[in-house]
């Protein structure tokens, strides 16, 4: 079965750039979506279709997807960005949806 692999944790200093990866076989051939989840809250979509931002999401958030790796990049990281981040894909052939294991972003 298809697997999405995310690093368990990423740490970054305020004002710097955080990059979180999502690895899957040939993931670049489809769309990847990203969610932010803060403790005790529901997830919030921050990127869809690999690189599009929903309304209300700051321009500091961007996405890319090529080959076997998708990435979520946060520029000028703020303390409020500290959260868990999940990547997600849709296998439309079998109508199954899959999440990566999530990355905990720590702002130092």
Partner 1 sequence: QVQLVESGGGVVQPGGSLRLSCAASGFTFVISTMHWVRQPPGKGLEWVAFISSDERNYNYADSVKGRFSISRDSSKTTLYLEMNSLTIEDTAVYYCARDRGDGSFDSWGQGTQVTFSS
* Residues 66, 71, 75, 77, Cα dihedral to 10°: 180
Closer of 2 and 13 to partner 1 (Cβ): 2
User: Binding to partner 1 by residue 7, rule CB under 8 A?
Assistant: no
Q: Which of residues 88-107 bind partner 1 (CB under 8 A)?
A: 88-90, 92, 94-102
DSSP 8-state code for residue 102: -
DSSP 8-state symbol, 80: G
The whole-angstrom separation of Cα 32 and Cα 18 is 18
- Regarding 43 and contact with partner 1 (CB under 8 A), the answer is yes
Give me the residues that bind partner 1 (CB under 8 A), please.
31, 33, 35, 37, 41-45, 48-49, 54, 84, 86, 88-90, 92, 94-102
């Amino acid at each position: 079965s298809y697997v999405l692999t995310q690093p368990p944790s990423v740490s970054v200093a305020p004002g710097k750039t955080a990059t979180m990866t999502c690895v899957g076989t040939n993931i670049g051939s489809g769309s990847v979506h990203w969610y932010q989840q803060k403790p005790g809250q529901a997830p919030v979509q921050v990127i869809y279709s690999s690189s599009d931002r929903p309304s209300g999401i700051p321009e500091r958030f961007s996405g890319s997807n090529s080959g076997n790796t998708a990435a979520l990049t946060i520029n000028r990281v703020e303390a409020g960005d500290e959260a868990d981040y999940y990547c997600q894909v849709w296998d439309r052939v079998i109508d199954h949806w899959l999440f990566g294991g999530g990355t905990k972003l720590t702002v130092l």
